[in-house]
Amino acid sequence: MKHYKEFTITAEPFNAELISGLMWQLDITGVNEEVNCLKIFAAEDSKVTTEDVKAMLQKLVDEKMLFRFSVEEYYLEDKNWNEEWERSVNVIEVSDRIVIKPSFRDYKAKQGKIIITIDPKMSFGTGEHQTTKLVLQLLENYVKPGITMLDVGSGTGVLAIAAVKLGASSGFAVDNDEWCFDNANENCRLNSVAGNIEVKLGSIEDIKENNFDLITSNIQKSILLDISPEIKARIKLGGIIILSGLLFTDEADILKAYSSLGFQLLEKKSLDEWIAIVFKSTGKIS
């Protein structure tokens, strides 16, 4: 009988997408996101150890992206990985209008519902995380018919897909991870919006287009601070940006940086310890 290693990771704050992306640098075979922990799996003969996992997480602590973490290791009997993954992915009612579902789950939509089909390969986001929910809920208020949008750090592509389904005419989704690039393209096809969204492998610097009506970015604070000039260069005057991936403790630094670039705070929205912030480009430097 085959066996495998399971490492259960808890962390504060719990950012499953950030942690899982880092863990794929190790010799692992799978990732499952659960309500308050992340489980990563490695083959029986894999050389990955608890110390390796802890060393990777310690990097996030050193960069002040995590406050603390714990890792527990188990040695278990092998499973049907695809079956386990499918069991962990559910239908998510993000708001009264937006529902996210995997392709293998049935959902009877009521009139007026916007159904987004997301198959999140390699656990790069299902819409369950608080920050993704916050941005999706804000998109309902800020997407206007015919606008153009850019999503930076797009993961599964869910934000760009949602924007188009809410009325945006076109969008760009950019991410520097190849898994995300492939997965976002797949999800665009699943939602019949591939003709409206261009998925790019790279960073915001690789987006030559500008004058976007709306830019979204659901990433950690350090990156949002680093790319703030690039966001300013690509948003039109009067355009809207929605930023998330942020904790309450990040708010002051984000407000200071973006206000100094001529962005006006429009609103903040919170869920548990996470926040999303909406700015408008005014061109007035403070």
pLDDT value of residue 99: 93
C-alpha separations of 213 from 33, 163, 222 in Å:
33, 12, 24
Q: Looking at 51, 85, 119, which one is the last position of a domain? A: 85
Task: Give the list of residues 6+ apart from residue 250 with CB closer than 8 angstroms, or none.
Answer: 221, 275
Give pLDDT tens digits for 91-100.
888 998 999 9
116 occurs within a structural domain: yes
The residues, ordered by sequence, that sit 6+ positions from 223 with a Cβ below 8 Å of its Cβ are 153, 217
State phi, psi for 112 to the nearest 5 degrees: 90, -10
Pair 108, 231 in one domain:
yes
pLDDT of amino acid 84? 64
How many C-beta atoms lie closer than 10 Å to residue 262's C-beta?
A: 17
Q: Which residues does 38 contact at the CB level (< 8 Å), separation at least 6?
A: 8, 9, 10, 11, 14, 16, 19, 20, 23, 31, 32, 123
Residues 129 and 79 in one domain: no
pTM of the model: 0.76
Other C-beta atoms lying within 10 Å of the C-beta of residue 96: 11
For residue 124, being part of any structural domain is answered with yes
Q: Please give the Cα distance from 260 to 168 (Å, whole number).
A: 29
Q: Point out the domain boundary residue: 37, 53, 85.
A: 85
Do 74 and 105 lie in one domain? The reply is no
- Assign residue 34 the CATH number of its domain: 3.30.70.260
Based on the fold, state whether residues 209 and 250 are members of the same structural domain: yes
Asked if 104 and 241 sit in the same domain, the reply is yes
Last residue of one domain, picked from the residues 54, 85, 116: 85
Residues 151 and 251 in one domain: yes
Rounded CA separation 138/277 (Å): 9
Q: Residue 71 domain-assigned?
A: yes
Residues 110, 59: one domain? no
| Residue 271 falls inside a structural domain | yes
Shared domain for 109 and 200, answered yes or no, is yes
> Are 261 and 121 in a shared domain?
yes
The backbone torsions φ and ψ at residue 63, rounded to the nearest 5 degrees and listed phi first, read -90, 5
Q: Is the pLDDT of residue 124 over 60?
A: no
Order of all β-strands in the sheet with 92-93 = 92-93, 98-101, 114-117
Do 159 and 188 lie in one domain? The reply is yes
SS3 label, residue 26: coil
In a domain, 286, yes or no: no
Determine the average pLDDT of the residues in 59-68. 91
- Tell me the per-residue pLDDT of 128-151, one tens digit each, with 9 for 90 and over: 788 899 999 999 999 999 999 999
- Identify the bridge partners of residue 277 per DSSP, sorted by sequence position: 243, 268
Q: Are residues 78 and 113 in the same domain?
A: no
Strand ranges (DSSP E) for the chain?
Answer: 3-12, 30-33, 38-43, 68-77, 92-93, 98-101, 114-117, 148-152, 170-175, 197-201, 212-218, 235-247, 263-271, 274-281
pLDDT tens for 182-197 read 889 999 999 999 999 9
Query: Residue 122: is its pLDDT beyond 70?
Result: no
Q: What is the CATH number of the domain that holds 160?
A: 3.40.50.150
Domain count, the chain: 2
Domain range enclosing 18:
3-85
